[in-house]
Amino acid sequence: MKLILGSKSPRRAEILKMAGYDFDIVVSDVDENVIEDNPEKKVLEIAKKKARAINVDGDAIILCADTIVVTKNDIILGKPKDKMDAKKMIELINDDYHYVYTAFVIIDTFNNREYSSVVKAKVNVVYLKENEIEEYINTNEPYDKAGAYAIQGYFGKYISSIEGDYYNVMGLPICAINQILKKLL
């Protein structure tokens, strides 16, 4: 059975490839706006919308995910709209901890079954001076990532520790996903 990754994220594709999976990419074009304040429910609802919008010919295993960053004060940070938005997000997580939630949905079209989960990690960020924030938001890195940063990129030098799955923070909790995929493929 073929595996379909429903994401245009190069990071998700890289993680899945690194884990030894062969897959095709099929991206659904869905409205990611949902009316939900609970971070876990919100991210799961978005991932489900993405997965259910993918149409494939024949039997397949469809994998979709969504990631959000949540401050300790429960402010949900998606992808920044512009430089000012990115700066505001970095200031909110500066010298503090936050949580990264990644929801994934796996649909087995052959057996008409759906599996889903939300994985959470706690991320600690050191203090960044104003000039460090400015320097960072002037890179291209923050603009297509939840919370305006990439743990595996330039911003990684500001992350002092994580509690949880590193790959979850990158956007695809491969260990949890592998537990399901190994039963289906």
Q: What is the residue extent of each domain of the chain?
A: 2-184
Instruction: Report the catalytic residues.
Output: 66
At the second CATH level, the architecture of 2-184 is Alpha-Beta Complex (3.90)
- pLDDT score at 149: 97
**Cα radius of gyration rounded to whole Å, the chain:** 17
* CB-based contacts of 81, cutoff 8 Å, min separation 6: none
Give the relative orientation of helices 10-18 and 174-184 as an angle to the nearest 10 degrees: 60
Residues of the chain with pLDDT under 50: none
85: tokens are 């938005």
Task: State residue 15 phi and psi, 5-degree precision.
Answer: -65, -45
Q: What pLDDT does 28 receive?
A: 83
